[in-house]
Chains A and B, each alone.
Chain A
Amino acid sequence: MTTTKNVVACQPENPWLAFTARIQQVRPETPGVATYNLVFDAPALADGFCFRPGQFNMLYLPGLGEVAISISGDPADYSTVPHTIREAGSVTQALARLGDGATIGVRGPFGSSWPMDACRGKDVLLVAGGIGLAPLRPAIYELLANRDDFGEFTLLYGARSPDGLLYPDEYEEWRNAGLDVQTTVDRAHVAWAGNVGVVTVLLDRLPLKRPDDTLLLTCGPEIMMWHTIQTALRRELAPESVYVSLERNMNCAIGLCGHCQFGPEFLCKDGPVFRYDRVSSILKVDDL
């Protein structure tokens, strides 16, 4: 299912080398969250930066540092590289103060990706929480572009509040293209006519036609993913059909600095996307 194109990998001989890119457009998403469309200065990268859904880049503001951010755009669209970013620390806050045209550094793409090939012939279920939809959006684009290759396609998406739901303008288009988008929020306001409650409630009542042949890809807070997975397993999905995207502090992104270790895994190069059975034994160990 992976699209093949003339590809320029952004992987220099020296993995510490970052490439400059310009912020082409900043699109506010939800409170404190915006999508930054990047265009590389180097022409070869500008029309050929290639990544797989679920991978991340290290975005660099000289003098402030780097942050690991998932790529949230369409892998087949080479014109721009979007990153959806929540203001959290000093780098992301400074990034929020930069406007269109500002230059930043980029290293990447890094890490493992969602199992696009394994989706072929299956029903595909995406469960996301909050900003966890961002790393799944490239998978949505790629799967919708190959919609005939698989069966049922569902996105269950939860956020704290209605204004915390990412990319609401796109749901209609996604639905028309064959993705069943269902949303829920923890706290509603009067204007909200949709679901209220945790995302696992949506999963509980979702008809699963063939759980044996359903793939679950989930990204969000660890506790949300944990309960989602337990619900899915109870509904007879196989552990080897479940994929999670995990998060730890990443400093080097190339498996050399030790920060992102999670048991035996380096999240930056072995992850961030794991098949659940690979990490199930360590997911619930406190303070690991």
Chain B
Amino acid sequence: MTAATESTPSTHSFLLRDGLQSLIDELSGDGFTVIGPTIDQGAIIFAEIESVDDLPRGWTDQQQPGEYRLERRDDDAYFGYVVGPHSWKRYLFPPLTTVATADRTDNGWDLKTPDEPAPRYAFLGVRACEIAAIKIQDRVFTGGAYVDPIYQKRREAAFIVAVNCTTAAPTCFCTSMNTGPRCKSGFDIALTEIADGFIVEASSDAGEELLGRLPVTPAADDQLDHGERARQQAVDQIQRTLNTDGIRDLLLDNLEHPQWEDVAKRCLSCTNCTMVCPTCFCSTVSEVSDLTGDHVERQRQWDSCFNIDFSYMNGGIVRSNVRSRFRQWLTHKLASWQDQFESSGCVGCGRCITWCPVGIDLTAEVATIRNVPNRALAATSEQEGTP
């Protein structure tokens, strides 16, 4: 949904648990492909869903640095988990897509860009940090001099059903990044799950219109209280913090900090953090031709600044060591992103911490640099007389 269609949240309605299927049905009936959380290979991921039975009812995720496990909840909550390895960017900025084609002709080449209509997705279960991530990618792909038509078409067609977090993981730090856990804008409809159903609010014309077709009743005061308490529970559970005060200058003034060397000893440069990050946008277009070579697709695939050949330039690799690649990722995400897009590139979802195989925690790395910045180190070594 776009800012232009956003309206003030309506009065809150109440949807019985049994009514959730009607939301999926109405969206499908409107021609949307509904994408929602579902369990696959021991993780909650996003996939096309048709029924509430596809949702991870009664499951939650246990997350720690380098650790992710699903566990049974003691209730039947549909949305009682936090975030998994997928983010919505895979539907707006697909991992693999064709940006252009070339067909050989009698006297040259016929160069085209694909013009098929974008899929119309309804996203079910978008968290506040994920809405923030979508807004960040909006700026990356549609806010500059060049607009990516693939992202733009998919984004304009998308319908967003947000779900307020009622639980948080130890890896969450959205409160530090000021992105959550409460969904305040950027959605069509938002749900807060309580024991017997959902508090529902609409925040766009399309959302209002859909809400009018759902079997809702005005929310009673005690239901609103339940919703408030459920949302507060998530706030209370968030323990992790990232001090963002002056973080841009802190990192850019410490490009030679010894901590980069330290983290390079642990980092495997595996790219997991960039793949699960909901804002990372790096990609590479490569040529895929058929056997005759007469038909060529230019395919754009997610790439990562952790891949060694990402910085290949004629004559060599610019960022040839893990130190420089990790530094590029972290300083881009938290510092130079601000110069480029006037916001942080981090929303505090914690995915990079959870899915790092060795549990590298960016909040801890920044804290180390903040506690002993380069200047302090230089002063110490001067005192000790070391070069």
Interface residues of A (CB under 8 A from B): 13-20, 22, 41, 60, 62-66, 88-89, 103-105, 247-249, 251-252, 254-259, 261, 263-264, 266, 269, 285-288
Are A103 and B144 in contact, with the CB atoms below 8 A?
no
The residues in B between 304 and 335 inclusive whose CB is less than 8 angstroms from any CB of A are 305, 310-315, 318-321, 323-324, 328, 332, 335
Q: Which residues of A contact B339 (CB under 8 A)?
A: 264
Contacts of B323 in A (CB 8 A): 287
Query: Which residues in A have their C-beta under 8 angstroms from that of B300?
Result: 257
Residues of A within 8 A of B255 (CB): 285, 288
B149 within 8 A of A: yes
Residues of B within 8 A of A (CB): 99-100, 102, 104, 107-109, 111-113, 140-141, 144-149, 252, 255-256, 281-287, 289, 293, 296, 298, 300, 303, 305, 310-315, 318-321, 323-324, 328, 332, 335-336, 339-340
* Interface SS, B side: mixed
Partner of A251, one of B284, B319, B332, B336: B284
- When A and B form their complex, which 6 residue pairs have the shortest distance between CB atoms, in order from nearest? A103-B108, A258-B282, A287-B324, A264-B339, A62-B102, A254-B146
A17 near B113 with CB under 8 A, answer yes
Contact between A19 and B314 (Cβ–Cβ < 8 Å)?
A: no
Q: Say whether B311 contacts A256, CB under 8 Å.
A: no
Known A16-B100, A20-B109, A103-B108; judge A259-B282 contact (CB<8 A).
yes
Q: Which of B113, B287, B318 contacts A16 (CB 8 A)?
A: B113
Give the residue of B285, B293, B312 whose beta carbon is less than 8 angstroms from that of A257. B285
Q: Which residues of B contact A287 (CB under 8 A)?
A: 318-321, 323-324
CB-defined contacts of B321 to chain A, threshold 8 Å = 287
Residues of A within 8 A of B256 (CB): 285
C-alpha gap A258/B335 in the complex (Å): 15
Query: 17 A-B Cβ contacts within 8 A?
Result: A13-B149, A16-B99, A17-B111, A20-B111, A62-B102, A63-B287, A63-B293, A105-B111, A247-B313, A256-B148, A256-B283, A257-B300, A261-B328, A269-B146, A287-B321, A288-B255, A288-B328
Q: Is the CB of B102 within 8 A of A105?
A: yes
Task: Name the A residues within 8 Å of B281 (CB-CB).
Answer: 256, 258
A259: contacting residue among B102, B113, B311, B315, CB under 8 A: B311
In the assembled complex, which residues on chain B have CB atoms less than 8 Å from the CB atom of A261? 305, 328, 332, 336
Verify B305–A16 contact, CB threshold 8 A: no
| Residue in chain B with minimal CB distance to A103 | B108
Given the contacts A105-B102, A266-B340, A256 and B109 also touching, CB distance less than 8 Å: no
Among A89, A255, A258, which residue has its beta carbon within 8 angstroms of that of B314? A89
B145 touches A16 (CB 8 A): no
Tell me if A19 and B111 are in contact (CB < 8 A): yes
Which residues from chain B contact A63 at a C-beta distance below 8 Å?
A: 102, 287, 289, 293, 296
Q: Are B298 and A16 in contact (CB under 8 A)?
A: yes
Across the interface, name the chain B residue whose C-beta is closest to A253: B146
CA of A14 to CA of B281 in the docked complex: distance in angstroms? 19
Q: A65 and B283 in contact (CB under 8 A), knowing A16-B99, A259-B311, A287-B319?
A: no
